[in-house]
């Protein structure tokens, strides 16, 4: 998940590295938004991991919390990913597409293969999966949580063709959203259709949106609306990416951005936001490893022990792995994209 510092560095040259520009300070809320988003993603994946392992018997409230926490974070990430697309395209389509090989395609292929290997090796300690060690279908069938990277590549390719035309982007976003509601699409096509409107809005109006501050009253109202909208959507369709959950997704996105702008200088949120890529692509490996180790080596099944331990490992494991990659000059080879600007 490349951050806005990449854009500023690419478009401002050496001046970005020589001084702490006012533009950089103003856009800290983007890192904070990613920080909030990645916290929610790891948190909900720990909840789902413990439920899938039957450590927690998730009741109605548990399922509702998961629904809320899944209804908007990826929309936030898609929105943020589109904010600087138009300026990059206007500088040249080739220059816009070239970095994707390092920042999106290679991480997807590498970590997707690692997921398949882990599933094959771990078939004796988890529910068996119907897969081989090497599965070429990951090229056209996104695997596990890495679907986001696959989707973002697809969106960037679309933007490279029509991103200069804001109204066309918005029209396509609305068409895909309505089409998803009317048609029975395959699972991943369903995700692509549902999320595209958030990316399209950011691409179309990114230069204006990056400088817009969400009023605190609107952010608070969006946060309050998230609960009833999620409750209604879940009662209609349990899928947090369904058409009826769009209202919850919009409310959650607005609330997240408002909170991020209010805490734009928060050190922890900024740090996690700048490291959201390594956390995202590898956190489930560490969550699963921590759970299996505690269950099999220590024999502890208490959720109040497993949950915080898995949560800590979900953050600290990827950060340690990235720290090692940085100090061995293996960031790109390890599929972490670019080194994180400090």
Q: Report the pLDDT averaged over residues 87-115.
A: 92
Helix (H, G, I), strand (E, B) or coil at 194: helix
C-alpha 297/C-alpha 238 separation (Å) is 36
For position 322, what pLDDT does the model report? 96
Q: Report the pLDDT averaged over residues 98-119.
A: 90
For position 58, what pLDDT does the model report? 78
Q: Report the pLDDT averaged over residues 31-50.
A: 96
Helix (H, G, I), strand (E, B) or coil at 29: helix
Percent of the chain, pLDDT > 70? 86
Whether the pLDDT of residue 311 is over 90: the answer is: yes
8 A C-beta contact, residue 150 and residue 111: no
Bigger pLDDT: 342 vs 66? 66
Which tokens belong to 266?
């928060």
Q: Residue written as tokens 């959507």?
A: 233
Sequence-ordered list of residues with C-beta below 8 angstroms from that of 7, at least 6 positions apart, any chain:
84, 87, 88
User: What is the DSSP annotation of 87-133?
Assistant: HHHHH-HHHHHTTHIIIIIHHHHHHHHHHHHHHHHTTTTS---S--S
Neighbouring CB atoms inside 10 A of 185's CB total 16
For position 117, what pLDDT does the model report? 86
What are the tens digits of pLDDT across the range 157-202? Answer: 999 999 999 999 999 999 999 999 998 888 888 889 999 999 999 9
For position 184, what pLDDT does the model report? 85
For position 131, what pLDDT does the model report? 37
C-alpha 323/C-alpha 326 separation (Å) is 5
Query: Would you list the domain boundaries of the chain?
Result: 4-327
C-alpha 67/C-alpha 36 separation (Å) is 17
The reported pTM is 0.88
C-alpha 25/C-alpha 44 separation (Å) is 30
Q: What is the DSSP letter of 268?
A: H
Whether the pLDDT of residue 74 is over 90: the answer is: yes
Q: Report the pLDDT averaged over residues 268-274.
A: 95
Sequence-ordered list of residues with C-beta below 8 angstroms from that of 107, at least 6 positions apart, any chain:
146, 149, 277, 281, 335, 336, 337
- 36-to-143, 169, 245, 316 alpha-carbon distances in Å: 24, 27, 20, 16
């Amino acid at each position: 998940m490349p951050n806005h510092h990449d854009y500023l560095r690419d478009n401002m040259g050496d001046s970005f590295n020589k001084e702490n520009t006012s533009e950089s300070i103003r856009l800290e809320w983007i890192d904070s938004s990613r920080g909030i988003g990645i916290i929610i993603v790891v948190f909900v994946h720990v909840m789902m991991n413990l439920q899938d392992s039957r450590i927690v018997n998730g009741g109605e409230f548990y399922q509702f919390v998961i629904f809320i926490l899944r209804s908007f974070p990826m929309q936030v990430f898609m929105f943020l990913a589109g904010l600087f697309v138009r300026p990059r395209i206007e500088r040249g389509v080739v220059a816009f597409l070239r970095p994707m090989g390092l920042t999106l395609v290679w991480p997807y292929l590498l970590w997707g293969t690692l997921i398949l290997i882990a599933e094959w090796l771990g078939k004796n300690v988890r529910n068996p999966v119907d897969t081989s060690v090497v599965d070429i279908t990951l090229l056209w069938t996104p695997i596990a949580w890495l679907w986001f990277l696959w989707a973002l590549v697809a969106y960037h390719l679309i933007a490279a063709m029509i991103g200069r035309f804001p109204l066309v982007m918005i029209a396509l976003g609305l068409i895909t959203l309505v089409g998803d509601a009317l048609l029975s699409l395959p699972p991943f096509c369903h995700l692509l259709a549902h999320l595209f409107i958030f990316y399209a809005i950011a691409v179309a109006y990114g230069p204006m949106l990056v400088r817009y501050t969400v009023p605190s009253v609107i952010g608070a109202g969006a946060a309050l609306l998230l609960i009833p909208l999620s409750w209604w959507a879940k009662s209609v369709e349990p899928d947090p990416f369904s058409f009826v959950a769009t209202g919850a997704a919009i409310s959650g996105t607005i609330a997240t951005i408002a909170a991020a702008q209010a805490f734009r200088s928060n050190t922890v949120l900024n740090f996690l936001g700048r490291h959201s890529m390594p956390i995202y692509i590898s956190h489930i490996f560490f969550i699963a490893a921590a759970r299996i180790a505690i269950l099999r080596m220590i024999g502890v099944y208490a959720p109040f022990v497993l949950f915080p331990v898995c949560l800590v490992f979900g953050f600290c494991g990827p950060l340690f792995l990235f720290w090692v990659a940085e100090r061995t000059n293996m960031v790109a080879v390890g599929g972490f994209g670019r080194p994180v600007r400090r």
